[in-house]
Amino acid sequence: MTCPACDHYVTIEDWNDDEPFNCPNCNTLLKLVTDEGGYRGASEKSLEIQEED
């Protein structure tokens, strides 16, 4: 999985953890999101930049 902000590789330790975390390279706050819109039974995971309030 690559960071959408800096394109550096980010290791996902827990694919079920949707708590935002900071990219170790660029420190951007990221969140692992699940896209349920794919095939039946399949879900795509992606990293999104989490905007801070």
Categorise residue 23: left if φ over 0, alpha if ψ from -120 to 50, beta otherwise: beta
In whole angstroms, how close is the CB of 9 to Zn ion at the nearest point?
Answer: 9
CA distance 20 to 38: 23
**Residue 23: CA count within 13 A, CB half-sphere:** 20
x/- contact string, 9-38, with Zn ion (CB under 5 A)?
--------------x-xx------------
Stretch that binds Zn ion, among 2-10, 12-20, 33-41, 44-52 (CB under 5 A): 2-10
* Residues of the shown chain interacting with Zn ion in the complex, contacts defined by CB under 5 A: 3, 5-6, 23, 25-26
